């Protein structure tokens, strides 16, 4: 069943072209040229979204927005501005328009593809499924030729599907040649997938980059079920979380911090929280954690996993602290996207003074990127800003000391340094911990209470209590209280 849209704009030519484009994208479109007809249409029918032009008259767009807010407060409304003049003249602002009831504001000129992608961003999983073309069974295989950079790969064992396949799935023959083995809307067939795996030794499936958001949405949904399922192994759960985080980091880099993208990041963090809370033998998994394919995309997840595990050791831990810190970890190095790529290919040890100064701006650049984002709260922004500050004042950008550094930021700094040691020295987490323990200047970077909890991440909690290996007044490192 196609999703219904209501288009409201005084320009009939624009309405006609927009309708044609959106119908091709599986929407059912109703269009009207004035506000009064728009209200009547909403009274009679339910719409997935209303797309309304700012210049609409009789009733004006602002009147319609108020009408929607009063009567249909859950209605998604995309407000189209003719140009930026009303913002420049101070007549209105995006904040004001959102307060009145716009879900999102688009300023002309924009392509119809951009409009489609905004609409798609608001689809829930249920909307996605119900907008699929109706089919029974499975379509024939089709060979396609398309450049590799248009595709994303996923391990066949980590692919999950709803009953109806949400997007086209391919296998790769060789560079630039793919076979579409499942079409969007097909009934998912596990047998068919197993056949490719067993008979044709297929290890990876591929899908279009443009379907990555749908992938994230569905995978987050299914991961939420899986992390709570005790019969599924912890290793498998970590792999799923890692893969979805990696695809999320790629989406952020390419699509930016759109609300629908950030929302997926928040869902990953909720899943990380549930995983950490429910996994009794977490310490075993973390001891054996190894990163087969370290990249900047998987780095964010590794830091998330260890920082969240450290927080779990504290009595004051809560869902909010873990989720906020996890989100900060997901974005902690986002400021690097503003640095010249050649700088990022260099090792920090090889930086010139000028390059180092530039590199050290990345926490500030990251904090600026997320500044003002309604879905990212102040605590997350502060952690991003302080993720390289050290307890002894040797960090950057502020060379902050002691309690001027947020405890959560110091935890992220520790998790970040630790993950770098694991990857750079190609050692196990326990070996990395041993390296750290004998490196006094390194240990001095962190609040001692945090470092002590960090050691506990790798210890069997049962034995800790039983054998009293690490009593609470342990003097492994001088005892200072984490605030
Ligand atoms: Fe960083
Ligand atoms: Fe980092």
The string of pLDDT tens digits covering residues 342-394 is: 998 888 889 999 999 999 999 999 999 999 787 899 999 999 999 999 999 99
Domain ranges of the chain: 3-122, 142-209, 228-467
Residue 159 above 50 pLDDT? yes
Q: How far is the CA of 296 from the centre of ligand 2 (A)?
A: 8
Residue 363: name the closest of 387, 344, 340 by CA. 387
pLDDT tens string 214-223: 899 899 999 9
Q: How far is the CA of 303 from the centre of ligand 2 (A)?
A: 7
pLDDT at 477: 41
Edge-to-edge strand list for the sheet holding 204-208: 142-145, 177-182, 169-174, 204-208, 151-155
Asked if residues 375 and 324 have their Cβ atoms less than 8 Å apart, the reply is no
Give CATH for domain 3-122. Answer: 3.40.50.2300
Ligand 2 being an ion, which residues bring their Cβ within 5 A of it?
A: 333, 416
pLDDT at 473: 45
Q: How far is the CA of 334 from the centre of ligand 1 (A)?
A: 8
pLDDT at 162: 80
Q: Per DSSP, what are the bridge partners of residue 170?
A: 180, 206
Residue 476 above 50 pLDDT? no
Q: Over pLDDT 90: what percentage of the chain?
A: 64
The number of residues in the chain equals 483
pLDDT tens string 305-324: 999 999 999 999 999 999 99
Residue 48 above 80 pLDDT? yes
Topology agreement, domain 3-122 and domain 228-467: no
> How far is Cα 120 from Cα 124, in angstroms, rounded to an integer?
9
Mean pLDDT of 88-109: 89
pLDDT tens string 178-195: 999 988 888 888 888 888
Mean pLDDT of 28-52: 95
pLDDT at 466: 53
pLDDT at 465: 56
Average pLDDT over all residues of the chain: 89
Q: How far is the CA of 307 from the centre of ligand 2 (A)?
A: 12
Mean pLDDT of 135-141: 79
- H helices present in 360-428, as ranges: 362-370, 378-385, 407-424
Mean pLDDT of 7-30: 93
pLDDT at 392: 95
> How far is Cα 355 from Cα 358, in angstroms, rounded to an integer?
5
Q: How far is the CA of 300 from the centre of ligand 2 (A)?
A: 7
Which of the ligands is closest to the CA of residue 296? 2
Residue 410 above 60 pLDDT? yes
Which of the ligands is closest to the CA of residue 361? 1
Q: In terms of CATH architecture, what is 228-467?
A: Orthogonal Bundle (1.10)
pLDDT at 129: 76
Which of the ligands is closest to the CA of residue 416? 2
Which pLDDT band, with edges at 50, 70 and 90, does 1 fall under? low
Residue 213 above 80 pLDDT? yes
Q: How far is the CA of 301 from the centre of ligand 1 (A)?
A: 13
* DSSP state string for 72-122: -TT-EEEEEESSSHHHHTTS--HHHHHHHT-SEEEESS--HHHHHHHHHHT
Torsion-angle region of 274 (φ positive above 0: left; ψ -120 to 50: alpha; else: beta): alpha
Residue 335: name the closest of 267, 264, 253 by CA. 253
pLDDT tens string 53-82: 999 999 999 999 999 999 998 899 999 999
Q: How far is the CA of 147 from the centre of ligand 1 (A)?
A: 33
Residue 388: name the closest of 332, 443, 468, 453 by CA. 332
Which of the ligands is closest to the CA of residue 306? 2
Q: How far is the CA of 56 from the centre of ligand 1 (A)?
A: 47
In sequence order, which residues have a C-beta less than 8 Å from that of residue 465 and are 6 or more positions away? none
Mean pLDDT of 327-343: 94
* Residue of higher predicted confidence among 38 and 346: 38
Chain centroid to CA 462? 34
> How far is Cα 267 from Cα 184, in angstroms, rounded to an integer?
24
Q: How far is the CA of 385 from the centre of ligand 2 (A)?
A: 12
């Amino acid at each position: 069943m196609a999703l219904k849209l209501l288009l409201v704009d005084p320009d009939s030519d624009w309405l006609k072209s927009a309708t044609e484009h959106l119908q091709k994208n599986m929407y059912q479109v109703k269009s009207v040229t004035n506000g009064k007809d728009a209200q009547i249409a909403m009274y009679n029918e339910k719409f997935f979204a209303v797309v309304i032009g700012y210049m609409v008259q009789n009733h004006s767009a602002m009147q319609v927005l108020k009408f929607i807010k009063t009567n249909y407060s859950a209605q998604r409304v995309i407000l189209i501005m003719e140009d930026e003049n009303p913002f420049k003249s101070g007549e209105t602002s995006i904040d004001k328009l959102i307060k009145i009831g716009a879900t999102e504001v688009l300023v002309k000129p924009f392509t119809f593809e951009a409009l489609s992608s905004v609409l798609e961003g608001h689809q829930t999983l249920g909307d996605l499924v119900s907008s699929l073309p109706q089919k029974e069974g499975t379509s024939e295989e089709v060979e396609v030729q398309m450049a590799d950079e248009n595709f994303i790969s996923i391990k066949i064992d980590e692919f999950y599907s709803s009953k109806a396949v949400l997007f086209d799935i391919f296998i790769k023959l060789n560079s630039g040649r793919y076979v579409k083995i499942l079409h969007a809307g097909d009934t998912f067939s596990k047998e068919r997938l197993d056949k490719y795996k067993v008979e044709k030794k297929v290890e990876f499936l591929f899908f279009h980059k443009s379907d990555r958001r749908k992938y994230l949405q569905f995978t987050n949904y299914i991961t939420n079920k899986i992390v709570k399922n005790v019969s599924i192994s912890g290793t498998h759960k970590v792999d799923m979380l890692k893969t979805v985080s990696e695809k999320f980091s790629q989406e952020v880099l390419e699509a930016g911090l759109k609300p629908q993208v950030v929302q997926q990041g928040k869902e990953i963090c909720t899943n990380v929280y549930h995983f950490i809370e429910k996994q009794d033998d977490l310490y075993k998994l973390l001891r054996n954690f190894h990163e087969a394919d370290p990249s900047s995309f998987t780095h964010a997840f590794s830091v998330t996993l260890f920082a969240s595990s450290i927080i779990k050791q504290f009595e004051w831990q809560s869902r909010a602290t873990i989720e906020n810190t996890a989100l900060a970890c997901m974005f902690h190095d986002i400021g690097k996207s503003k640095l010249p790529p050649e700088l990022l290919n260099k090792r920090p040890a090889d930086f010139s003074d000028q390059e180092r100064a530039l590199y050290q701006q990345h926490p500030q650049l990251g904090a600026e990127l997320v500044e003002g984002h309604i879905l990212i709260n102040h605590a997350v922004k502060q952690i991003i800003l302080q993720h390289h500050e050290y307890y002894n004042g040797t960090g950057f950008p502020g060379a902050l000391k002691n309690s001027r550094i947020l405890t959560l930021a110091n935890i992220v700094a520790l998790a970040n340094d630790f993950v770098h040691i694991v990857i750079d020295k190609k050692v196990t987490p326990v070996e990395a911990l041993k390296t750290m323990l004998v490196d006094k200047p390194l240990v001095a970077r962190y609040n001692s209470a945090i470092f002590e909890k960090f050691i506990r991440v790798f210890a069997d909690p049962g034995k800790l209590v039983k054998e009293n290996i690490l009593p609470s007044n342990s003097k492994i490192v001088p005892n200072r209280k984490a605030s």
